[in-house]
Amino acid sequence: MTVNSVEERIQAAARYKLNVDSKVIQAGMFDNKSTNTERKQFLQALLTQEADEDEEEDEFPDDETINQMLARGEEEFEAYQRMDVDRRRNEVREGNRKPRLMEQS
């Protein structure tokens, strides 16, 4: 999948709906033993956890993470890692580092 692809948006929407569903069920704490304060604290903890996860998802993956996503096995992963090392050496030697991501003009 590419960044901001249709499939990625569909998966994100599905994950969001599943998370909301689980929060509603869990935060309800319908066991007749939980107090209103306990339910609020539990829901707040869930929302804080989701905010932290959202921040992690917004970060761009590094070369190693991308290689792990692409590789179909350990041998292929190692080959991608070697290619990245070679690319970095060439960039240093030639001094013409290109941006990793496409830029909009």
Q: What is the pLDDT of residue 77?
A: 92
Give the number of domains in the chain: 2
14-30, pLDDT tens digit by residue?
A: 888 887 777 666 666 66
SS3 for 61? coil
Q: Residue 85 falls within a domain, yes or no?
A: yes
pTM assigned to the model: 0.41
Q: Are 91 and 97 in contact (CB under 8 A)?
A: yes
36-82, pLDDT tens digit by residue?
A: 888 788 878 877 887 666 665 667 788 898 898 888 889 999 999 99
Same domain for 53 and 72, yes or no, is: no
Give the Cα separation of 23 and 47 in Å (integer).
Answer: 9
Same domain for 14 and 53, yes or no, is: yes
Q: Are 28 and 39 in contact (CB under 8 A)?
A: yes
Q: What is the pLDDT of residue 82?
A: 96
Same domain for 12 and 35, yes or no, is: yes
User: 105 or 31: whose pLDDT is higher?
Assistant: 31
Q: By residue range, what is the domain housing residue 25?
A: 6-58
Q: What is the pLDDT of residue 78?
A: 94
